[in-house]
Amino acid sequence: MKPHACIAMPCGTRRDADGQLIDFNRIHDELQRPALLEAGCEIFRADQQQCAGSIDKDKFQELLVTDLVRAELTIDNPNVDGADKVRLVCLWDGSGSDGPGGTTHRVEEVRKRTGRVSWIDVRTL
């Protein structure tokens, strides 16, 4: 059985609190999806579910069986309930800006909202 990865993030292009445009579909399609597929994961992206019924019920069901949850905190997203309780954990070299949606941007956004960031410095591995 493949490991399940549940992705809670917006679709399309949105502006963050600073007005920067972030293309969430591109981030998912070009970065997240290929990495998760390479890792052998089955991907469930909550915001892309088009079936009838409540997305919350579908999301909850997936969370019961998921092995990994990736919740987007860059912008306010009603599909990421409890975002204030989420901690960002990342592998990162601490380098400067890598643009909207990149690690630097995500770390800054999470620090603004929750301050709960833990990162493993890949330079020390």
Task: Identify the residue with better confidence: 17 or 56.
Answer: 17
CB-based contact 12:24 (threshold 8 Å): yes
Average pLDDT of every residue of the chain: 75
Residue 102 binned pLDDT confidence (cut-offs 50, 70, 90): confident
Q: In whole angstroms, what separates CA 102 from the centre of its chain?
A: 11
Residue 68 has pLDDT above 60, yes or no: yes
pTM over 0.85? The answer is no
- Round to whole Å and give the CA distance between 16 and 65: 31
pLDDT tens across 30-53, in order? 888 888 888 888 888 866 654 444
